[in-house]
Structures are given as structure tokens and as C-alpha cells.
Structure 1
Amino acid sequence: MFSHFFRKPKPEHNPIAVLDKLNETLELLEKKEDVLLKKVNAEKEKAIEFIRGKNKRGAAQCVKRKKLYEQQIEQLGNFQLRIHDQMIMLEGATVTTETVAALRTGAAAMKAVQKATNIDDVDKTVEEISQQTDNMRMIQEALSAPLGAASYFDEDELEAELEELEAGELEEQLLQPATTAPAVSVQPPAGRQPSHPVMSNPEVDELTALQAEMAL
């Protein structure tokens, strides 16, 4: 029904060109109407002059021509009315055509969007993502699993042995005797010398023997 709206218009059927042509015709009719109005006024003035000159025949001829011009003016008015009517209809048809074309463009865009976001495609994409996620989790679990002899270790046994080692270490620390503090040698303050020289052991023995002899 609207197929003729979407055909490429011929130059003579282009709405804009047709509107321009109608405007030109309307302007031409208005100019002709102005000319006829001037002729009507001129014939009216002539008829008045003939009446003043008692020329009834001449006045009648002027009135007849005046009537003919007025008929032409009436026809031009009808032509102008038809052109105005056609211009209004054509402008409305142009707006309708543009509206339908815009709606068709919007419908095509919506169709393209719906095709790109088909519900089946969305479900398929979500399923593929879920499958890839599961595969990646399985790969990570496989890579983190122990290999070789380590895979046969019992976690409970390892934990029990570790606790046993910790208990033995704690017991050994508790049974170990306390160490005595090392003797601290007393040194005289720096810059001060002892009032008496320190004698070695042989000298002390010799002095003790001498004192004993003097006491005898």
C-alpha cells in the first residue's frame, strides 16, 4: 500500500520541485489578477466619463468589459484556491512520506538489533561461557594437585607427626638446665691505677716466708 512512498521520485515528481512550480504558478496568477483589477478600475472610470458625456452606448461597452475582467478575476481566484489546496495536500503528503520513511528506518534498525541479540544466540553464548569457566576450573584443579609420591601422603598422618615433633622440641627445652652467668672481671676505671701493685704468686710466697722469719 505504501510502496509508492519509497520509490525514488522522478525529477518532475519530486515534491520539493512540484511545490516550487506551484509557487511560481501562484505568483503568476496573482500578477494577472492585479493586472485585471487595474483594467476593471480603468473600465469603471471610462464608464463614468461616458455617462457624464451622455454617451450611454460607450458606458455600456465599458461595463461589459468590466464584467468580463471580473469573471476572469473570479476564475483566477478559483485557480489560486485550487493551487493552495494542492500545495497543502502535497506538503502533508511529503510529511507523511518522510514520517513513513523514518519509521521504516527505525523498524529496520530494530530488526537488526533483534537479529544481533537473538535469544537463542544469547543462550548459546551464556552456555559456552559457563562451559569454558568449568573447563578452566578443572584445569586449575589438575595443575594444583600433588604429583608422584607426594600424592600418596595422608594429611592426617603428616599433621600428627608435626604435632609430635613440636611436643618433643618443647619438652627438650623444658628439661635443659639453666646456664650460669659468666664471671665478670672487674676492671678499674679508665685513667685510674691501683694504689698497690699486684704481685704474682711466687712473690706472695716469698713475702710470707720473710714475715715469718722476722717474727722469730
Structure 2
Amino acid sequence: MFSRIFGKPKQETNALGTLDKLNETLEMLEKKEKVLIKKAAAEVEKAKEFTRAKNKRAAIQCLKRKRLYEQQVEQLGNFQLRIHDQMIMLEGAKATTETVDALRTGASAMKAMQKATNIDDVDTTMDEINEQTENMKQIQEALSAPIGAAADFDEDELEAELEELEGAELEEQLLQPATTAPAAPVQAPAGPQRNRPTPKRTAEEDELAALQAEMAL
């Protein structure tokens, strides 16, 4: 009976359609994020290849592209967080709207039965609507805030990252088994032999060992 009098509310249909749209957008952002992560990993592999070829300039360019992909991944993560926030607020608003509609229907039924208007119920409903409208306005203002451009790259950080890649490549070369044929055994001369002193590690070897420990972390 009340549907014929007041008509069917469209808020529920609109809210469901909006939630579906937000879910589709969220899935799209997640797919883009996975693609960018793969691209960043590919740039690291390219940088390693250029490092082996002693092409430092090309390796640096690969690391710059990797940083750009990482910044885009971070940006997409912020977008997803905002969408999740809006979905939560929209679901809460939908529940509030349904509650207000139920209260409004009850008040209308009482009005039809008692033929009287209860101004307190109207004030309460309007206060709730104004509160939800203000909340929605704050969410829209937060979503419309501009996002800053990517920051300039620090060349020192790129140089340090390239040195880490070079250290990793050197470590791989040191760990490869020797392919040369074993040398013929040399017979030691008879008689007492002196113990040879153990050679001391050079500064380069100490630096390489520290770099290998850092890469292992």
C-alpha cells in the first residue's frame, strides 16, 4: 500500500550500481598493479645484463624506469585505498538510508492512521540526512585532492643500487665452478718443509665480502 502512495525508493538500486562500479575499478587497478610490478622486475634484469656488458649508462636508465614503475605501483595502492574507503562509506550510507526510509515509512503509517504530523520525527530524519550529506561531501573533497608528480631521482642512490648489482654479478662469477683442466700434480722436494704464511685478505676482498653479506640480507 505504501509503495503505491510514496513510490519505490531508488537509492538502493543506485547504491548497488555504484558498489558494482567501484568493485570493477578496484579489479582494474589491481591488474595494473601486477603488470607494473612485473615491468619493474624486468627492468632490474635488464640492468643486470647491461652491468655484465659494462654499459653503465644503460643500466642506470633501467633503474630509473624501475623507480617510475614503483612510484606508479604506490600511486595505484593509494587509489585502491581510497576506493575501499568510499565503498565502506557508501555501504554505511546505504544502511543509514534504509534505516531512514524504514523510519519514514513507519512515521507515514502513523500519520495515515492518526492523521497527525509528528514534527520530532521529521526533524530527526532531516538531521540524519544532513549528517550523511556532509560526510559524503567530505569524502568527495578528499577524493578530488590532487596527487603530486613523481619526485626527482637521486643519482647517488642509483649509483649505490648499481654497485649492489655489480657486486651480485661478481659474486655469481666467483661461485661458478672452474672449467679449466686440473693441473698435473707437482711433487714436493724431499726434506723438511716450512709452513707458508697464510696470505692476508686485501681491502678489495674485504669490501667484496661486506657487499656479499649486505646482498644476502
**TM-score with structure 1 setting the length:** 0.46
